[in-house]
Structure formats: structure tokens, C-alpha cells
Amino acid sequence: MINLETPKKHRQLIDQAHQVAMNMLRPISRKYDQAEHAYPKELDMLAAMIDGLADSGASEGAGATGVRRDDKADEKGVKNGANLASVQSVAEMCWGDTGLTLSMPRQGLGNSAIASVANDEQLKRFEGTWASMAITEPSMGSDSAALTTTAVRDGDEYVLNGEKIFVTSGERSDSVVVWASLDKSLGRAAIKSFVVTKGTPGMKVERLEHKLGIRASDTAVITFTDCRVPAENLLGSPEIDVKQGFAGAMATFDNTRPLVAAMAVGCARAALDLTRGLLEEAGVEIDYDRPAQVQSAAAAKFLQLESDWEGGRLLTLQAAWMADNRQPNSLEASMAKAKAGRVGSDVTLSCVELAASVGYSETELLEKWSRDSKILDIFEGTQQIQQLIVARRVLGLSSAELK
């Protein structure tokens, strides 16, 4: 039976993540929001600490993790594993700062892709790399299957050609997980992911984007021109299975979407915590034992925001728990991403409104959190795409039947 209470074995890790967020990330949050594209050197020490925890096995979920479909569920009962620990610790880190969390060395979205799709040999070979993930292209919009980047086999190498945009940590990472098609005539089934090491000839970081939020995180445009990648760097199986279709890609999304949802949950909670204090200072009483309709408008609004936030949090925990227990969670991952992404934007912007001039000014971080949270409703699949995926799953329709 599923239990979404914080497991005892994870509490120490989550408490440590909260302390890091409060004492290390929050104090430098504004500094790196204003110094866009400057690398937060303070994160190097923090990354070393996380590496040490992961290497010692003392804190399951301290690093990037993935949904391993080839493993069997724990036959002795339910498991609260690395995915559940990861979403909870990521939420705590984003309570401190979302952009800085995304900038953590060796904790990129590409690391989760490797953890989800790579075989055992590749997992060992790419251990310790800092991998960003390159999916989106200028002309594909939100349809990942419409990518045009190609990978052509040439002996013991693949030759990549194409352009990727919005690559998180695209300049700072050691390697990039690039999604490309082996044969466009075969559609989604031919899409595979490749680990391309930085410095590979033909790979070029063209520019860094200036953004509304998460400014501490670099977002790059990367081109691949006759870029030769060893065949062994194709993640997972090189075989094109038309019946399996987009399964390799979806295995990655099933893991990263709950992580992004957790980021939204953490950022929104930061806004709620601060706004609650500001309302109390202004004399607004929030009474959890009285109906919202008999309280002040501000208190009633705050109660509604907390209720929505709790829904997003529980959906996120459910998707991660299912991954730990090797249950198919594609539907739940999209539900969590859709709910938490929307709630994150609604909560942070509403908190700015509730705090009035204080919320709009830079004297507090509320306005920053409202800017940061918006991307969490967009990347890893927009709100509209998530709702479309949920509708297909619920109705039992294919992508061709429901567009």
C-alpha cells in the first residue's frame, strides 16, 4: 500500500537539504539572479559533499537517479527508494533557489537520462560526468518526436547534425545527452539519445540565452555539424523497435517530470512560507479551524493556495513512489508535472499580489520566485502537452487519434 509520509530513512537527507537551501543557497540567491551567466563557485563544495554522500551510500537519493525498467520490484513489499528521496530533497533545495539547484554540478537533467536509459556498462563509464540534456529544437515546439537532428552510422561512430536550443547547463556541463533520429522515415521509434563529450569536434555552444528567471542557470544553444560520436555512446540499445516506439524517451520523462514537479513544489512552498509571515505581520489571521468563507479575503486566498499546493505535492510523491516500485508511472508523471507546474506559477504570483508592494519589490525574494517558477510549467513538456498526454492515457487513445 502506498504511503506518502516521509520515510524515516529519508528524513536526515531531507533535513540536510533544507539546511543547505537555507544557509547556502538562499543567501546567494539574489547575487546570482543579478549576475546572470556567472558561475556560482559556491556550488563546487556542495557538489563535492553530495558526491561523498552518494559514494558512501549514506544517503540514497542524494544524486541524480533514474527509472530502471529492467529491475524487478521488491517482492517483499513496497520500496521507498532513490526516486522518492530525490524529489523530496530537490523540493527542499528549490525552497532555497531553483536556478542554483539547476546549476549543481553532476546533477543535470542529462544525468537522469543516463540513469534511466543507459546499460550497466554505460552507467559505470559515465559515472561522475555532468550531463545536460538537449532535446528542443527551433522548429519542433513541444513535440519531441518532431526533432530533425540526425545520427548516421559510419563504422564505429555516429555522425550528428542538427541544432538544439534551451539546453540547461549547456555551457558548464562536461557532456550533453543529445536526442537524434537514426532514420526519420521510421518516426518516433528511431529516436535515440547519445552522450556527446564537450570538446568533441563539430559540437559548438553558439550562445547563452537571457531569461526571465532561473538566471543562475546557463541556458545554451548548441549546434552539431558532422559531429562524430563513438557508437558505444548511444544510450541503451541501438536497435530500432517500432513496437516499442518512443519508450526510451518516455523512460527519461517518467523520471525527470516528477523532478521538475518537485522543483515547482519547493519554489511555491518558499513563497507560501514567506507570505504567511508577511500576512501575520500585517495582522491577517489565518485560522485552519474555521471555514475560509468566514475569514478575510487574504486569509481565504492563502488557504486556497495551500490546498492547491498540497495536491501538487502529493501527485509528485506518488509518481516518484511508483517509479521506486517499478510501476508504470507515465500517466502519474504527467499529472504531477501538469498540476505542480500550474500550481507553482499560480502560488508564487498570487503571493506577490497578497504581499502588494513588498511582493513586487526586490526587498524580498517573492518577485524572483514568481519569475523562476514559470519555467517549471514550461520545460520538460508544457502544461498543454501534459494535459494532452493525460487525456490520451485516460481515454486510451494514441497520439495519432488525439492531437
Q: Is 21 helix (H, G, I), strand (E, B) or coil?
A: helix
Instruction: Confirm whether 121 is a catalytic residue.
Output: no
DSSP secondary structure string, 210-254?
A: --SS-TTS-EEEEEEEEEEEEGGGB-S-----TTTTTHHHHHHHH
Reduce the DSSP state of residue 43 to 3 states and report it.
helix
Catalytic position from the list 92, 137, 364, 380: 380
Question: Helices (H), strands (E): how many in the chain?
Answer: 12, 7
CB within 8 Å of 229: residues ≥ 6 apart: 151, 157, 158, 159, 160, 194, 195, 196, 200
Question: Element (H or E) spanning 47, and its range?
Answer: helix 42-56
What is the distance between the alpha carbons of residues 313 and 316, in angstroms, rounded to a whole number? 5
The C-alpha cell 540565452 sits at 209
Helix (H, G, I), strand (E, B) or coil at 183: coil
Q: What is the spatial distance between Cα 167 and Cα 133, in angstroms, rounded to a whole number?
A: 6
CA distance 363 to 120: 49
Residues labelled as active-site residues: 380
